[in-house]
Each structure stands twice: as structure tokens, then as C-alpha cells.
Structure 1
Amino acid sequence: MPQCNTGLSRLPSFILGLLLLSTSLAATANPESTLQRTKQAVIKIHTTRAAPDYFTPWRLLNLEQTSGSGAVISGQRILTNAHVIADARYLQVQKHNDPKKYLAEVAFVSHEADLAILTVDDKHFFDDLNPLSIGKLPAALTEVSVFGYPFGGQSLSITKGVLSRVEHQRYAHAGSYLLAGQIDAAINPGNSGGPVLVDNQIVGVVMQANAGARAENQGYFVPPSVIEHVLKDAEDNHFDGVPEIGFLTQSLESPATKRAYRLAENDSGALVTKVFADGPAAHKLQVDDVILAINGHVIADDQTIDLAADLRTDFKYVVDNLHPGDAVSLAVKRDGVALDIALTAAQQNKNRSLVQALQYDQQPRYMVYAGVVFVPLNMNLIRRWGRDWHSQAPIDFLHWRGQWASPEQRELVVALKVLAADVNLGYHNWTNWTIQQVNGEAITDFDHFAELIYSFDGDFIQLGDNKGYKMVLDHAQALAAEDAIKQLYGLPASHSVGLFDRIANRTPETPMAITSDNTAQNNNGDTIEMPPPAVD
């Protein structure tokens, strides 16, 4: 077969190699074109949100228009923060230097990790966009670039800074305790959800300042390990989140404590303080066991492990990177005897705290009976007292945040306020009252409370708390007044949608599991104002 000779084929091989190398360098050494491609992958997100009003649970708060940032990733998806799209009623996205806005929707959300994945209805939106890949966590002092659309302007903003710290932080959005990066780049409202880039790879997603932070010139981002966990979780479109292994710990920095638990001089670890009876560690771990290592990572007395030569963080990091069904191996000492214990990480499907944590994209549960508005106690309600809720919310509500749920009491019920009527004379000024019993029977959760009320066939309902106070209501009069109270106060219904459907489907053997991005549920002990336990 005759060969085709070209001019290139007649050149000496070393000259041909130089020509090919120079062509390759010319294609990649144009920083302007690379920057332009990166800019095109950074998206502005327009959100119209209306959160529920937990003071008046059948209504929404006023609509507000907000914006955030996001980045195009593989699969024609946009990665952003969960708090950018939380309680959204309408979503639009906009490309760099493009005045057109496109309708978008949420494909997956992890409020726990403050991450969300969006899709766009018009698939041509992605035609000229190059997705960004997820990189590795950079070393300290690495220069990073932050892309986004902060308030104060319409165009894309790019700032630079250095990675100053990586450790577990309290995430402001849902209160989760997860690994986070800290940078000194300028970050402002609107930057949320934008990518933190090194070598045009995403090494973080900008998020809100950590809860309670007061330092200036600091920004925080969700690191690659958390991003990858969420992307893996999203593969089946079913939220599993960070799993639980069912125990709480405290540090062992006290030499006296270490001696008391018969540890050798070179032993270090975390002391088990609670084992949940319905968790993966039940009947395997015991209170006062000492966890020396988890999945091969030696635990220091301050409950940290090595991530790199110059990086340590909470040993909860190991659990954070697992998925339900993954194996967990523990090296344990019990009464001075070394043990190896195997656990299986399980999906968090139980509320560990009496006060449920912040809920998003959900309608509040409520019931109005005899003109009294009853609701479950949760952090959405507590935070309606504003930014200073720590000092402004009722002290009883704050007290209950430090209490664990049990099979006998999974949730608290609050008489939030009284819609004045003849049926509730004498109680018009009762507000924010936590109820413990109905006619002497202890309340398990909100659904149980509603069931006790509407299955009652006697004359008087007596509601009581643990201090001995009682509210007595005429049951027949309460039922007869229901329609009049609804009309007088503009109630759409006397109870939230689905309340009695859940009651009809529940049985004592299969209590309803209420899931949320709860600090206690997320293994972080968030319901307690103190450094969180390492693992739950």
C-alpha cells in the first residue's frame, strides 16, 4: 500500500518533537483563555424564598429576593450552598456576561453539609460551558481564588487569599460539625456557593461564616472531602447523609482520668460517655470504654487524628467520610483489657435530641384545638426570636436543648399561644408553655399528643406540665367551636397537612422517625452549648 509522505514526516524526529511541544504549550499557556473558560463555569443564582412562619405556622414569612453563586460540574449540574436555595419558591440561574435568566430546580440537597445540586430546565444552558472538576484539599498557605457574585455589583468578582486553617467547624446553616477550610480572601453576601479554586479545580465551596464567629477578614468553605461525600450520596437521589455509629465521647486529657480507666502510659483515646440503645454500637460498646483508634487512625487524648503531616482534626472525620453500611473497626480498652470491636455505620433516622434542629423546605406541623395553637418544639421556633435567640427565647425552651430524646419521650409539645374565644377563657395570656401530659398520660411526641386529643371521648381535657400547672378545656365545647375559630382567625385548617395521615399509619412497634439536619442526629451534640462530642 503506498505511503503518504507529508512535509512533517520528512522532518528530523527531534525537530518534529519540538514543533509538537510548542503547539501544545501554545494551547495551554494562554492564561486569558483559561480564565475565560473558568469564568463561564461560575453561575449566579437568583432565589425567591419564603420561609414558614413558626410563630404562625399556617403562614409564610414575606417573600424575599436573594442571590448566590454556584459552579458547573460534570453531568450538567450546578454545585452551590444549601442555604442559597433553602425554602426557595422560584429559582433562576444566569451565566457570566449573559443577561438571560434560566429556570432551575433543586436536584439534591444536603442541608447538613450546606450543599445543593441544581439542574436547569433548558439543557442548552450548558452547551458552551466547561465543567470544573473537584480537586484535593490544598496545603496551608496555598494561594486560592474565590469566584462569585457578591452584593454590590452585577458582574463576576474574583478575589485571592491563602488557606490559613483546616479543622472541624460548626456550619452556620444547619449547625453540623464537619471539616471546614478557612481563608483570608474577601467574602461577602452573594459569594455563598461560589467555588474556591486552585489550578482551575474546585477545592472548596464558599459558605456562611461558622456559627458564632466574630473574627474579621475570614471566610469559610466546604472542603473536597465533604463535597465528594455529598456527590456520592446524590448518585441514587436519596439523601443518606453522614452516618451514625451510636455513641458519644469526651477527651482524656486529664492524667488522673487516664489512670482511673487503667490506661497504659503510651495509650491515648476518647472516653465513651453514652451509647444509644438503638444505635449501631448498642450491646457492643459500653460507657467508660476508651476508644484508642478508629479504622486504623490513632486517637489522641484531645480526640484528634492525623490527616497529614501538619494537619489534625476531630476523629469524627473518619465517620464523616463513611456511608451507611460501611464497616467501622474500633480498638478499645475496657477495664484495662484491649478489645477489637466491629460496627456497621447506619443511616441517621432517629432524632437524638428533644429539641429538633433546623428544618428547611418543610411546612411546620401544628394543631389548633379549643383556640390553642400547639406545635412541636424545634430550633426553627426558637430562632424566631431573632439573632439574639440565645438570650431572647424562653428559658425553658433553651433548657430542653440539652436533653436527649428517649423511646418514652421523643419530642416536646408547646402551647404556643391562645386565639381568644369563649372556649379558652382564663387562658388568653398563656404563651410558650411546654406540655408533658394529656389527662395524666405522658406525651411521646407531637403525633401522639394529637392522637390523645382527638381520640378522647370524655368531658374535659386536662393538659399538664412537669411543674404541676394545668389547662382544663371542655372537649365538646372545643370541638363545637372549631369552625368558628377557623373563620374568626383566618385559619386554612385546624391542623397541618398530613398530621392525621401519619397518626393513622403509626403503630407502637414502628414509631414515626422524624429526620432532620439535627446536630444531635448528626452525631455532633449540637443541642448543647459546649464543644461537641466527637462521634455519636
Structure 2
Amino acid sequence: MSLLASPLPLLPHAITSRPVLASTRLLSTTARRLFSTQRPSPADLAVVKLHVTRQRPSWTVPWQTTPVEASSGSGCLLSLPQSAGPSWRARNFVLTAAHVVADSIYLTVQRNTDYFEPNKFPAVVRAVCHDSDLALVEVTNDEEGFRNGGNHPSPDRPAAEMKPLELARWDDLPELRDTVQVVGYPVGGDKLSVTSGVVSRCEVVEYSHSARPALGITVDAAINAGNSGGPVMCGSSDKILGVAFQKYVSHGVENQGHAVPSYLIWRFINRVIAGAADAESLTSTIGGVGDGSLDLPCLGVTCQPVENDQFKKWLGVSAGDAAVGMDRKGVMVSWSVNPALKKYDVITAINDTPLDSFGHVWYLGRRLYMTALLDSFYVGDAVELAVLSRGDAGPVVERRTVGLMSPKDCFLVPKGQMYDVKAPPYLIAGGDKGSRIGGFVVLIVFS
């Protein structure tokens, strides 16, 4: 039987043309020992493993809870901006994904066991944004020295000290083919895992945790269960380009992992700092389900592309007609709960950034769907829209100041699953004794 056709795995020495000498093995052992004493990278020390105990509510039987579950994820010690002040920067904040800590009742953080003792430090969730799948966790017990205490006693390892990782600039969206590294603790082992790849795409994708569209970085580096919350590092520096949070799984699809880009992380961090008077006042979770301050905003409309020539003529956006003195490309509002916009309005620009007929804008150095631009704002912020509306005398161009809304205010039943709800509200109504149903009718009320 040919070796190539053999179902058995090939051993390394089976394909070599000479035997492996003992001196070669000795040299390899010495080289590995010398390599093990080299200084680790900042990400090797700053990336941690989160152990989560969670208990979700039961939405079908709301007076009960589901069984307790245990899971794990990844995160990294985060360096907050200088503007936050020393009181913020001195605390041990860990950046991770929201779905890693959603519905958690107990949380611990474990450092890299190659350089530190395998102690687990209690932690709490300080802020969470489910829309962009981001969370900020703080290590609360630092008596043993989270950053530099409990070094590994092995003589082959130098004394280690955790240093927080810095975020890339908010407008630093990687280019295609840029080299990246995904660092975390995926399934298959307990040790730190590092996979390499390149950026293969940057576009608006659906975040599976919140069912919301937002900008995502697609990488071909391996992302598996347990990698969620871990940083995606720039290959040429030690800065965080994004946070790994999901991968696309389907028949015939391979190597499509997604990361939250840095500008959404900056949006999240800046709001957390601005939302608390100081670091000491950040003692409870903010940005939860009941607090919409961290939600990704929306216009409160549904839009459709304007492609058909007859449709363009009817709307007043026919090609070559520049009577209104502006570019007439844009998207048409087909449904609206925003009082400032109505059906058949054509949005042509957002804050003087023009839209094309498919709703794309030039933002962060590339053409992206307008959701990416709107996500840089917060709920309640005002944006100026250039709107082409149909009037009796023909199309009219208007400048409208529109307030951004929360998606929770746009639908009777919010899109996506609800998280961090300890006790879902419900109403029990008495059944009709004369009916065949009898008993009780349970109505679950979403608030």
C-alpha cells in the first residue's frame, strides 16, 4: 500500500531520508530551553481566561430558571486612554465579549499558567453592550497581585509582569491582507493559543449575539469556541485591532472568523468612562438591558436601494437631473417610526457624507454600508440628513436634523434574545371556567 493512500497518519521520521541522531535531539532540547527563557510578548501575558457560571431565565416558564451552566472564554487586560486619569488606569479592567459573560452569576479570571500560578481571581462585569458584543470586566480581588504576583516558579521562565494592551486608533481599520494574530483559550486544551492569518474582508455583518448589523473584520485565522473575547492583534505591533466574537459556519464555508473593530471598542470605552463620575463610582453594571446608553443607534427606518430607472424618475432622482444642486443618489425610506422621516423620502447624505444608491458611504477609508457610520454615534445624538422628498411641485431637497433611536423603541418585540434579565415580568390571568381550557392563561409581558 502506498504511504500516500494509507489512512494512518505519517510520522515525521517516516518521510526523512536519514535517521534522527541523538545529538540532534539534544540540540533541539537545548534550543527549546533557550527559547523558553526569552521574554514573552505582551499579549502572552495580558490575555486571560474567563471562567463563567451562568443561569438563564426561562422565557416559557418565567417563574423558573434554567439549570446552572459553566463555560469559558477569553479576554485581555486593557490599557485605558490617558484622558481617563490615573484612578481608572490603575484598576484591572479586562475587555471581553458580551456573550461570554451574559447571564453570569459568578465569574473568575485566570492568567497564563505558563508564566503565573493557576490562581483564579474573582471578577465582576462593570459594563456591557450586547449590540456590539462587548463587555468590561474588573478583577475585584488584587491582594495576591494580579499583574505581577504569583510568578511561575520554574527556572526556565523569567519573572513576568502583566502589562495592559493598548487599543489601535479608533480610525485604524486594517487593510486587506494585513497580518493578524488571534490570541485566546479555545477548546482543545488549557494553554494559551495563538493563530495567525490575514484580514480577508471588512464590511457590515450580522452579530449573532444581538442579531444587529454592525461593522466586522473578517480574518482567516482560526477562531473556535473559547476564543470569543480574545484580542485580534496587529501583526506588526502589540496593539489590539479587534475582539474575536464569532465565526461563520455553513456547508462549504471555511476560515471566516469575525472581530469587533477598534472604533466600536473606543465608542464603548469612551461611553463607559463618560458615564461614571470617576472610577470609584463604577461599582455596578451599567449599559445593561435596562440602560440604552450603550446601544447601537438607528434612524428608525427601513430603507431600500433605488436602482430602477423608472422608479428613480418617479422619486425625482433621475440621472442627469441636477436642478436641486446636489447628488441625487440615495436610498428610499420604505417604512418609518421616526417622525422626522416618512415613506418615499430619499436619504442622500448623512452629516454631509453622501450615500450611493445602495446606502454605502465613504467612511474609515473605504466604502461601507451607512450602518457603520451611524454606529459611531450614541442613542439620542442628532445627525443632519439631506433628504429628497416628493412635493406637489416636484422633488424638494431638505436639511433635517434627526435624532437617533434605540432599536428597542422601534419594535413591539425587540429583535434578538434578551440577556441579563434575572426575573422576566409576566402576568397570570384567570381562565374561563366554562371553557374546555380552564385553569390559567399565562401572558409573558416584555418590558
TM-score (norm 1): 0.61
Question: 1:294–1:210: structure 2 CA closer, same or farther, 3 Å change rule?
Answer: farther
Q: 2:369 aligned with 1:314, yes or no?
A: yes
SS at 2:146 equivalent: helix
Q: Aligned partners of 1:133, 1:32: CA distance in 2, in Å?
A: 25
Question: 1:300–1:212: structure 2 CA closer, same or farther, 3 Å change rule?
Answer: farther
Q: 2:327 aligned with 1:256, yes or no?
A: no
Paired amino acid for 1:427: I
Match of 2:190 in 1: 154
Q: 2:58 aligned with 1:53, yes or no?
A: yes
Paired amino acid for 2:370: F
Paired amino acid for 2:334: T
Paired amino acid for 2:436: G
Pairs within 5 Å for 1:488-499: none
Match of 1:205 in 2: 243
Q: 2:272 aligned with 1:234, yes or no?
A: yes
- Deviation by residue 1:447-482 (Cα, 9 ceiling, x = unmatched): 8xxxxxxxxxxxxxxxxxxxxxxxxxxxxxxxxxxx
Paired amino acid for 1:45: L
Question: 1:354–1:66: structure 2 CA closer, same or farther, 3 Å change rule?
Answer: closer
**Contact map agreement 2:428 2:440 (CA 8 A) in 1:** no
**Contact map agreement 1:105 1:120 (CA 8 A) in 2:** yes
Q: Note the C-alpha offset of 1:339.
A: 1.9
**Contact map agreement 1:172 1:211 (CA 8 A) in 2:** no
Q: Aligned partners of 2:378, 2:300: CA distance in 1, in Å?
A: 14
Q: Note the C-alpha offset of 1:430.
A: 10
Paired amino acid for 1:299: L
**Residue 420 of structure 2, aligned match among 361, 365, 368:** 361
Pairs within 5 Å for 1:481-520: 514=447
**Residue 330 of structure 1, aligned match among 385, 388, 391:** 385
SS at 1:60 equivalent: coil
Match of 2:403 in 1: 344
Q: 2:138 aligned with 1:119, yes or no?
A: yes
Question: 1:332–1:356: structure 2 CA closer, same or farther, 3 Å change rule?
Answer: closer
**Contact map agreement 2:231 2:244 (CA 8 A) in 1:** yes
Match of 2:213 in 1: 177
- Deviation by residue 1:363-383 (Cα, 9 ceiling, x = unmatched): 22223344x6xxxxxxxxxxx
- Deviation by residue 1:230-250 (Cα, 9 ceiling, x = unmatched): 112212154312234333321
**Contact map agreement 2:95 2:229 (CA 8 A) in 1:** yes
- Please tell me whether Structure 1 or Structure 2 has the larger radius of gyration of its CA atoms: 1
Paired amino acid for 1:118: V
Paired amino acid for 2:402: L
Match of 1:23 in 2: none
Question: 1:354–1:158: structure 2 CA closer, same or farther, 3 Å change rule?
Answer: closer
- In structure 2, the gaps of 5 or more residues are 1-34, 80-88, 149-160, 277-285, 288-292, 321-327
Q: Aligned partners of 1:81, 1:117: CA distance in 2, in Å?
A: 8
Q: CA RMSD in A?
A: 2.8
Q: Aligned partners of 2:398, 2:435: CA distance in 1, in Å?
A: 63
Paired amino acid for 1:272: V
Match of 1:196 in 2: 232
Match of 2:124 in 1: 105
> Is the deviation greater in 221-230 or in 150-159?
221-230
More helix by share: 1
Q: Note the C-alpha offset of 1:212.
A: 7.5
**Contact map agreement 1:170 1:210 (CA 8 A) in 2:** no
**Contact map agreement 2:223 2:247 (CA 8 A) in 1:** no
Match of 1:489 in 2: none
Pairs within 5 Å for 1:367-446: 367-370=427-430, 426-427=436-437, 446=445
Q: Aligned partners of 1:220, 1:45: CA distance in 2, in Å?
A: 20
Higher relative contact order (CA 8 A, sep 6+): 2
SS at 1:359 equivalent: coil
Tell me the percent identity.
32
Match of 1:131 in 2: 164
Q: Aligned partners of 1:41, 1:319: CA distance in 2, in Å?
A: 32
Paired amino acid for 1:53: S
Question: 1:355–1:308: structure 2 CA closer, same or farther, 3 Å change rule?
Answer: closer
Q: Note the C-alpha offset of 1:33.
A: 5.9
Q: Note the C-alpha offset of 1:288.
A: 1.1
- In structure 1, the gaps of 5 or more residues are 1-29, 373-421, 436-444, 448-513, 515-536
SS at 2:166 equivalent: coil
Match of 1:506 in 2: none
Q: Note the C-alpha offset of 1:340.
A: 1.8
Question: 1:351–1:264: structure 2 CA closer, same or farther, 3 Å change rule?
Answer: closer
Match of 1:272 in 2: 333
Q: Aligned partners of 1:246, 1:32: CA distance in 2, in Å?
A: 57
**Contact map agreement 1:144 1:196 (CA 8 A) in 2:** yes
Q: Aligned partners of 1:429, 1:168: CA distance in 2, in Å?
A: 48
Pairs within 5 Å for 1:46-85: 46-74=51-79, 75=89, 76-85=92-101
Q: Note the C-alpha offset of 1:351.
A: 4.8
- Deviation by residue 1:290-343 (Cα, 9 ceiling, x = unmatched): 11111122111111112355x322112221101245331111212322222222
Q: Aligned partners of 2:37, 2:310: CA distance in 1, in Å?
A: 62
Q: Aligned partners of 1:306, 1:58: CA distance in 2, in Å?
A: 49
**Contact map agreement 2:233 2:240 (CA 8 A) in 1:** yes
Match of 1:247 in 2: 301
Paired amino acid for 1:39: D
SS at 1:229 equivalent: helix
SS at 1:107 equivalent: strand
Q: Aligned partners of 2:264, 2:317: CA distance in 1, in Å?
A: 34
Q: Note the C-alpha offset of 1:133.
A: 1.0
**Contact map agreement 2:346 2:387 (CA 8 A) in 1:** yes
